[in-house]
Structure 1
Amino acid sequence: MPLEILVIDDNRDATELLEELLSMEGHAVRTAATAARALELAHEKPAQIFLVDQNLPDMAGSDLVPLLRASVAGHGDGRCFAIAITGMASGNARTAGGQMGAFDYILGKPLDFDAFDALLARCAAALQAPPAP
C-alpha cells in the first residue's frame, strides 16, 4: 500500500536518502527541514506517516508530533503514525514511552533499513485495517 509520508529532519543528506528510498517503493514523500515547514505541509495535505527527527532547529520533535496529529484529525479516519528517527536511541524499532511518548515508535540512527521496512509494513497494515469502533 503506498503511503503518504512526511519526512522532517534538518539533516539534508538523511532526508534526501529517505525520500529517494521511499519514493522508489512507491510512497508519496514530502520533506521539511523545520517544524514550521512541516506544519505548513501537513495542513496542505495530511500524511499517514510522519518520520520526525527529535532535534529540529525550531522545536523538539516530540513537541511537534501532537500538532502534526491535529492536522490529520479532521481528514479520513484521522489515523497516522509518528516515528522518531533519532541519534538518541539505539537498536531496532521500539515502542515510544517517557519523554518520547508523543511518538508511536522510535528508530535509532544509523537507521537499520530492515527494521525500518518492517515497521513501515506494520504501519501500512494497521492503516488498511478497519478503524476501531
Structure 2
Amino acid sequence: MITTVPPVPPPSHPLLRLRLAPHGTLPRRLDGAWWPRSYDLLAELPPLLAALPRAWGHIASVTVNSAAWSAAPGRMFVCNQVVRLRRAVAPHAPNTVVLLAPGHGRWDLLVVPPDITEEEAGPLMTAAVDDRARDRQE
C-alpha cells in the first residue's frame, strides 16, 4: 500500500539569520551577528529572542540604536516574558543590539543592515564570530 503525504508547506516565517560566536573563556567585542529582514523591532525581536541559547537565560532588556529602528513601545511581551526595550544613540557601536539577562550576562550582536545583499551580509556575519578575522583586523 502506498500512502501519499501532502507536501509540507513552507514556514510562515523565513528562517532567522543569526550566527553566534563559539563559547569561550576570553571576552569578545561581539557575541554574534544578526541579519534582520526589516527595521521593524516589533516584528524582528520575537524570533531573535526565541532562537537564543537557553543558557543565556531570560533576556530582560534589549538596547538598540534609536536612529536605525522604527518606533517601539518601552516594553513588549516576548516568549511569555516582558522585555524592556531601550533606545540609545551609540556612536561607538551604531550597528549593534545589546541583550541583558540578569544573573546570566550581556551579549552584543552586530546588526547587519536588512537592505544589503546576501553576498555582502555573509562576510560581515562571518567576521563578527570568527576570532581569526577579528585578530587580522586588530
Normalised TM-score (structure 2): 0.32
- More strand by percentage: 2
- More helix by percentage: 1
Task: Mark the structure with the bigger radius of gyration.
Answer: 2
